[in-house]
Amino acid sequence: MRLWKKVRYLFNRDSFDRDLQEEMRIHREMAEEKLGQLGEPKAAAHYEAMKSFGNATLSQEASRSEWTFLFETLLQDLRFDLRTLHKSPGFTVVAVLTLALGIGANTAIFQLIDAVRLRTLPVKDPQELATVRIADRNWVMGRTHGRYTQLSNAIWEQIRDRQQVFSSVFAWAGEGLNIANGGEVRNVEGIWVSGDYFKALEVPALIGRTLTPDDDRRGCGSPPAVLSYAFWQREYGGKPDILGNKITLEGHPFEIVGVTPAGFYGVDIGHFFDVATPLCSEPIIRGEDSMLDLRRGWWLASLGRLKPGVSLAQASAQMNAMSTSILEATIPAEYSPEAVKHFMQYRFGAFPASNGFSDLRGTYSSSMDSPLWILLALAGFVLLIACANIANLMLARASAREREIAVRLSLGASRSRLIRQLLSESILLGLIGACCGALLAQWLSRFLVAYINSRGRIYLDLALDWRVLGFTAGVGMLTSIIFGLAPAFRATRVAPAAVLKAAGRGMTGGRERFGLRRALVISQVAFSLVLVVGALLFSRSLGKLLSVDAGFRQTGILETDVDYSKLRIAVPQRQPYKISLIERLRAIPGVEAVANASVVPISGYGWSENIILAGAKEHAKESQLFDRISPGYFNTMGIPMVVGRDFNERDTAISQKVAIVNESFVKKILNGANPIGQHFQIEEYVGRPRPMYEIVGLVKDTKYYDLRDDFKPIVYVTTLQDDQPDEVAALLIRSPLPPGGLTSSIKNALADASPLISIEFTPLQRTIHDSLLRDRLMATLSGFFGGLAALLAMVGLYGVISYSVARRTNEIGIRMALGGQRLNIVNMVLGEAGLLLVMGLAVGIGLALILSKTASSLLFGLKPRDPLTILLAVLGLAAVAILASYIPARRAAGLDPMVALRNE
SS3 466: helix
Residue at 299: amino acid letter: W
Residue 141 phi, psi dihedral angles, 5° rounding: -135, 140
Closer CB to other proteins, 66 or 649, in the complex: 66
Q: Measure Cα distances from 18 to 13, 29, 301, 895 in Å.
A: 9, 16, 78, 54
As a whole number of angstroms, the distance between CA 808 and CA 16 comes to 50
Decide: is 7 part of the binding site for other proteins (CB under 8 A).
no
Q: How many CA atoms lie within 13 A of 225 on its CB side?
A: 29
DSSP code, position 114: I
Closer CB to other proteins, 59 or 810, in the complex: 59
Nearest approach, Cβ of residue 76 and other proteins (Å): 19
Length of the chain: 904
Residue 710 phi, psi dihedral angles, 5° rounding: -70, 165
Decide: is 414 part of the binding site for other proteins (CB under 8 A).
no
Decide: is 571 part of the binding site for other proteins (CB under 8 A).
no
For other proteins, which stretch binds (CB under 8 A), given 58-66, 226-234, 256-264, 843-851?
A: 58-66
As a whole number of angstroms, the distance between CA 687 and CA 205 comes to 48
Q: Measure Cα distances from 458 to 356, 446, 731 in Å.
A: 15, 11, 26
- Considering only CA atoms, which of 614, 609, 621 is closest in space to residue 679? 614
Which position among 12, 15, 52, 754 is part of the footprint of other proteins (CB under 8 A)?
52
Q: Alpha-carbon dihedral of residues 560, 565, 567, 571, nearest 10 degrees?
A: 110
As a whole number of angstroms, the distance between CA 549 and CA 67 comes to 78
As a whole number of angstroms, the distance between CA 595 and CA 733 comes to 7
Report the DSSP beta bridge partners of residue 198: none
Decide: is 38 part of the binding site for other proteins (CB under 8 A).
no
Decide: is 26 part of the binding site for other proteins (CB under 8 A).
yes
Nearest approach, Cβ of residue 66 and other proteins (Å): 4
Closer CB to other proteins, 20 or 331, in the complex: 20
Decide: is 245 part of the binding site for other proteins (CB under 8 A).
no
Which position among 62, 620, 653, 899 is part of the footprint of other proteins (CB under 8 A)?
62
Decide: is 415 part of the binding site for other proteins (CB under 8 A).
no
**Residues 487-506 close enough to bind other proteins by CB under 8 A:** none
Decide: is 162 part of the binding site for other proteins (CB under 8 A).
no
Closer CB to other proteins, 62 or 93, in the complex: 62
Nearest approach, Cβ of residue 489 and other proteins (Å): 24
Closer CB to other proteins, 51 or 619, in the complex: 51
Decide: is 411 part of the binding site for other proteins (CB under 8 A).
no
Decide: is 72 part of the binding site for other proteins (CB under 8 A).
no
- Considering only CA atoms, which of 667, 658, 768, 767 is closest in space to residue 720? 658
Burial of 233 by CB count in 10 Å (0-12 exposed, 13-18 middle, 19+ buried)? middle
Decide: is 40 part of the binding site for other proteins (CB under 8 A).
no
Nearest approach, Cβ of residue 53 and other proteins (Å): 5
Q: Alpha-carbon dihedral of residues 3, 8, 9, 14, nearest 10 degrees?
A: 170
Nearest approach, Cβ of residue 798 and other proteins (Å): 46
Nearest approach, Cβ of residue 410 and other proteins (Å): 16
As a whole number of angstroms, the distance between CA 876 and CA 535 comes to 12
Decide: is 29 part of the binding site for other proteins (CB under 8 A).
yes
Which position among 55, 323, 610, 635 is part of the footprint of other proteins (CB under 8 A)?
55
Closer CB to other proteins, 67 or 489, in the complex: 67
Closer CB to other proteins, 58 or 500, in the complex: 58
Q: How many CA atoms lie within 13 A of 128 on its CB side?
A: 18
User: Are residues 825 and 745 in contact, defined by beta-carbon separation less than 8 angstroms?
Assistant: no
Considering only the C-alpha atoms of the chain, give the largest distance between any 2 of them, rounded to a whole number of Å: 134
As a whole number of angstroms, the distance between CA 621 and CA 694 comes to 17
Nearest approach, Cβ of residue 893 and other proteins (Å): 54
As a whole number of angstroms, the distance between CA 688 and CA 244 comes to 46
Residue 480 phi, psi dihedral angles, 5° rounding: -65, -30
For other proteins, which stretch binds (CB under 8 A), given 63-71, 616-624, 654-662, 693-701?
A: 63-71
For other proteins, which stretch binds (CB under 8 A), given 51-59, 115-123, 241-249, 602-610?
A: 51-59
As a whole number of angstroms, the distance between CA 559 and CA 549 comes to 20
Burial of 158 by CB count in 10 Å (0-12 exposed, 13-18 middle, 19+ buried)? buried
Decide: is 63 part of the binding site for other proteins (CB under 8 A).
yes
Kindly state the number of chain residues that form the binding site for other proteins, as judged by CB under 8 A.
Answer: 29
SS3 content of the chain, % helix, strand, coil (to 5): 55, 15, 30
For other proteins, which stretch binds (CB under 8 A), given 19-27, 84-92, 661-669, 821-829?
A: 19-27
Closer CB to other proteins, 23 or 583, in the complex: 23
As a whole number of angstroms, the distance between CA 842 and CA 839 comes to 5
Closer CB to other proteins, 53 or 236, in the complex: 53
User: Are residues 114 and 468 in contact, defined by beta-carbon separation less than 8 angstroms?
Assistant: yes
Q: How far does Cα 570 stand from its chain's mean position?
A: 47
Closer CB to other proteins, 50 or 587, in the complex: 50
Nearest approach, Cβ of residue 77 and other proteins (Å): 21
Give the H/E segment covering residue 849.
helix 822-851
Decide: is 47 part of the binding site for other proteins (CB under 8 A).
no
Decide: is 617 part of the binding site for other proteins (CB under 8 A).
no
Decide: is 27 part of the binding site for other proteins (CB under 8 A).
yes
Decide: is 30 part of the binding site for other proteins (CB under 8 A).
yes
Which position among 36, 46, 48, 53 is part of the footprint of other proteins (CB under 8 A)?
53
Nearest approach, Cβ of residue 488 and other proteins (Å): 24
Decide: is 83 part of the binding site for other proteins (CB under 8 A).
no
Decide: is 17 part of the binding site for other proteins (CB under 8 A).
no
SS3 718: strand
DSSP code, position 190: E
Which position among 22, 288, 684, 723 is part of the footprint of other proteins (CB under 8 A)?
22
Decide: is 68 part of the binding site for other proteins (CB under 8 A).
no
Cα-trace Rg, the chain: 37
Residue at 212: amino acid letter: T
Give the H/E segment covering residue 624.
strand 621-629
Decide: is 769 part of the binding site for other proteins (CB under 8 A).
no
* x-or-dash string of contact with other proteins, 587-616, rule CB under 8 A: ------------------------------
Decide: is 853 part of the binding site for other proteins (CB under 8 A).
no
Which position among 7, 13, 41, 54 is part of the footprint of other proteins (CB under 8 A)?
54
Which position among 36, 46, 59, 584 is part of the footprint of other proteins (CB under 8 A)?
59
Nearest approach, Cβ of residue 12 and other proteins (Å): 13
Which position among 48, 58, 865, 890 is part of the footprint of other proteins (CB under 8 A)?
58
Nearest approach, Cβ of residue 58 and other proteins (Å): 7
For other proteins, which stretch binds (CB under 8 A), given 62-70, 574-582, 697-705, 789-797?
A: 62-70
Which position among 38, 43, 66, 86 is part of the footprint of other proteins (CB under 8 A)?
66
Q: Measure Cα distances from 825 to 114, 253, 432, 710, 891 in Å.
A: 54, 85, 41, 57, 10
Decide: is 19 part of the binding site for other proteins (CB under 8 A).
yes
Nearest approach, Cβ of residue 1 and other proteins (Å): 6
Which position among 1, 38, 503, 570 is part of the footprint of other proteins (CB under 8 A)?
1
Q: Where are the beta strands (DSSP E) in 309-361?
A: 348-352
First to last CA, the chain: 59
- Applying CB under 8 A, which residues contact other proteins? 1-2, 5-6, 19-20, 22-24, 26-27, 29-31, 33-34, 52-55, 58-60, 62-67
